């Protein structure tokens, strides 16, 4: 069975999740569901980054003193939020867990043995919002552009450094080898320019007297491992690095890291360089030819903004995704965040557009189609799937650009390609609007009803109506499958209304189910119910 290992970033627990965190995690969940429907063995992980100064500050702000208690409470809150939003993670890593600690120590020792860790002195600016060191060239008005409301700290410390600059040529070769290690292309160019022109060695520890949290440097308790050097290793430790070699060998390397664009330098430059270094001395991290086992792809998405400003906890404009889900429904929120913003680009959040997507895309287009087709079929054919030959029903009726079976196969291939490229937004666009060759999108299916008018034609040609309605019912089954990664509960409800057992249908798998003629003529239909009731 083909494996697919997918990760989100791990999140700071200095507050509850906002819509930006939800966006990354919902997209990851949809991709994990897609690969499971294809019959692949999926490992989808997320987690919390707990070795951070931010978390101490948040604990103190909350009036608490027990750090471990605070971290455990907040980690549970994040897990609960993801569960409420339908996130089907397979593992959840906390960087305070013993399994993570064990893997970090092993990795540090491997990099040290490679000769890429040395002692030095760091002096410069530090942004607590990013948990990152900043060069003067990265500042705007002497502030970090991502956290303009936070003053920078001027640091001068003796630390351990990683020879990041030694990997410049290898990193450039990685970006230029013709693959898609960094996506989208605009981010690859950005990272490449950074590595070519600005790459420098990086401090990978902080003095324990200054930062009392984090994993101690092996052999030197006066230093704590820098939060980013520690955090990136979660992608290894969650699958057994340092604790379970068989499990690790099964899953590594990662097939896809999903990250926000603000952390691409860490994921696309520092992270592969760290792996290249450790692989020199740790055989678990290299392939049979001796090359470092690197993640296959890092996809960096854009920001959700609110009135043009990045949404973040530190800026005080965070939106709680669960409040949106309570009002519009979890499935609506999942659809909106993936349809509204082209993956890889920025997008502005709007309550008006969320409402419009609910009423137009979901209610009037998908919901209306399913409701009308099932209601007419039950009315005209004794509550059953019309007695039409599936092959004859595959032939389009009328002049509307409705492709029937051929069109749906074309649609399916395009949607499959979009999901496979991590482009859920493109998949949804295709499902709703069809494709240039074959059409057969939701909008065309609705137009097909308006042109053929089965509610009138039934009086003069019931056989034609049987073919039309069978074609549309079967199309609804296909649409349910195609939206299932994004809106799994809506897909199950469509199956149920079509008279299918949702569990049995899902077990058939993506390839076996998406064959024309899955609905059996004469089978009993369920009761039509609004998939997206009118908002109160």
| 310 among known catalytic residues | yes
Residue among 35, 101, 267, 310 flagged as catalytic: 310
Residue among 112, 127, 134, 378 flagged as catalytic: 127
Residue among 54, 144, 257, 424 flagged as catalytic: 144
Residue among 79, 147, 327, 447 flagged as catalytic: 147
Phi, psi of 208 (to 5 degrees): -60, -30
Number of helices and strands (H, E) in the chain? Answer: 23, 16
Q: In which order are the strands placed within the sheet that holds 132-134?
A: 132-134, 117-127, 153-162, 202-203
Question: Is the distance from CB of 222 to CB of 296 less than 8 angstroms?
Answer: no
Q: What distance in Å separates the CA atoms of residue 98 and residue 48, rounded to the nearest whole number? A: 14
Element (H, E) at 49: strand 41-49
Q: What distance in Å separates the CA atoms of residue 258 and residue 235, rounded to the nearest whole number? A: 12
C-alpha separations of 417 from 12, 283, 345, 444, 492 in Å = 33, 35, 19, 21, 23
| 147 among known catalytic residues | yes
Bridge partners for 224 per DSSP: 206, 216
Question: Is the distance from CB of 24 to CB of 258 less than 8 angstroms?
Answer: yes
| 18 among known catalytic residues | yes
| 158 among known catalytic residues | no
Q: What distance in Å separates the CA atoms of residue 83 and residue 74, rounded to the nearest whole number? A: 14
Question: Is the distance from CB of 314 to CB of 20 less than 8 angstroms?
Answer: no
Q: Which of 5, 28, 3 is nearest to 82 (CA)?
A: 28
Measured between alpha carbons, how far apart are the two ends of the chain, in Å?
47
E strand map for 90-149: 91-94, 117-127, 132-134
Bridge partners for 125 per DSSP: 134, 154
The distance from CA 98 to its chain's CA centroid, rounded to whole angstroms, is: 27
Other beta carbons within 10 angstroms of residue 128's beta carbon come to 17
65 DSSP assignment: -
Other beta carbons within 10 angstroms of residue 411's beta carbon come to 28
| 267 among known catalytic residues | no
Q: What distance in Å separates the CA atoms of residue 223 and residue 207, rounded to the nearest whole number? A: 5
Sign of CA dihedral 316, 318, 323, 324: positive
Sign of CA dihedral 300, 301, 306, 308: positive
Q: What distance in Å separates the CA atoms of residue 207 and residue 224, rounded to the nearest whole number? A: 6
Question: Is the distance from CB of 330 to CB of 84 less than 8 angstroms?
Answer: yes
User: 193-205: buried (b, 16+ CB within 10 Å) or exposed (e) per residue?
Assistant: eebeeebeebbbb
Q: Please give the structure tokens belonging to residue 4.
A: 């697919």
Residue among 130, 268, 424, 476 flagged as catalytic: 130
- Rg of the chain over Cα atoms, rounded to whole angstroms, equals 26
Q: Which of 153, 148, 159 is nearest to 131 (CA)?
A: 153
| 496 among known catalytic residues | no
Q: Would you name the residues annotated as active-site residues? A: 18, 21, 127, 130, 144, 147, 310, 313
């Amino acid at each position: 069975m083909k494996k697919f290992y997918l990760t989100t970033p791990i999140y700071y627990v200095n507050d509850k999740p906002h819509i930006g965190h939800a966006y990354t995690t919902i997209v990851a969940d949809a991709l994990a569901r897609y690969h499971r429907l294809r019959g692949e063995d999926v490992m989808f992980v997320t987690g919390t980054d707990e070795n951070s100064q931010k978390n101490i500050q948040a604990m103190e702000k909350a009036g608490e003193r027990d750090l471990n208690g605070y971290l455990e409470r907040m980690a549970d809150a994040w897990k609960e939020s993801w569960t409420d939003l339908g996130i089907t993670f397979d593992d959840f890593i906390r960087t305070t867990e013993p399994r993570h600690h064990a893997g970090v120590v092993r990795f540090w020792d491997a990099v040290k043995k490679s000769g890429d860790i040395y002692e030095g002195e760091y002096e410069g600016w530090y942004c607590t919002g990013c948990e990152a060191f900043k060069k003067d060239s990265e500042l705007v008005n002497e502030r970090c552009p991502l956290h303009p409301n936070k003053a920078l700290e001027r640091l001068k410390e003796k630390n351990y450094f990683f020879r990041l600059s030694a990997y410049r040529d290898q990193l450039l070769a990685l970006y230029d080898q013709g693959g898609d290690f960094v996506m989208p292309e605009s981010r690859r160019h950005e990272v490449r320019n950074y590595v070519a022109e600005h790459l420098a060695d990086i401090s990978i520890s902080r003095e324990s007297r200054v930062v009392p949290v984090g994993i101690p440097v092996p052999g030197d308790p006066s230093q704590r491992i820098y939060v980013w050097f520690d955090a990136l290793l979660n992608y290894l430790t969650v699958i057994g690095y340092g604790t379970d070699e068989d499990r690790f060998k099964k899953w590594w390397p990662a097939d896809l890291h999903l990250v926000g664009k603000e952390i691409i330098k860490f994921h696309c430059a520092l992270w592969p360089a760290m792996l290249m270094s450790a692989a020199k001395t740790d055989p678990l991290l290299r392939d049979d030819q001796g090359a470092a086992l690197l993640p296959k792809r890092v996809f960096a998405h854009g920001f959700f903004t609110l009135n043009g400003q990045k949404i973040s906890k530190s800026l005080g404009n965070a939106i709680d995704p669960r409040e949106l889900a309570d009002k519009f429904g979890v499935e609506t929120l999942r659809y909106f965040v993936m349809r509204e913003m082209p993956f890889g680009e920025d997008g502005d959040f709007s309550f008006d557009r969320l409402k419009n997507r609910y009423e137009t895309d979901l209610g009037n287009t998908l919901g209306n189609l399913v409701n009308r087709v099932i209601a007419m079929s039950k009315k005209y054919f004794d509550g059953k799937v019309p007695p039409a030959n599936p092959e004859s029903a595959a032939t389009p009726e009328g002049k509307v650009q409705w492709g029937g079976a051929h069109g749906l196969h074309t649609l399916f291939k395009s949607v499959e390609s979009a999901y496979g490229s991590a482009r859920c937004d493109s998949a949804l666009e295709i499902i709703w609007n069809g494709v240039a060759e074959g059409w057969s999108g939701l909008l065309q299916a609705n137009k097909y009803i308006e042109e053929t008018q089965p509610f009138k034609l039934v009086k003069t040609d019931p056989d034609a109506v049987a073919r039309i309605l069978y074609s549309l019912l079967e199309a609804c089954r296909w649409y349910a499958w195609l939206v299932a990664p994004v809106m799994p509960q809506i897909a199950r409800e469509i199956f149920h209304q079509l008279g299918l057992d949702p569990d049995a249908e899902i077990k058939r798998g993506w390839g076996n189910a998406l064959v024309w003629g899955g609905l059996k003529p004469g089978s009993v239909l369920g009761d039509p119910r609004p998939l997206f009731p009118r908002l109160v």
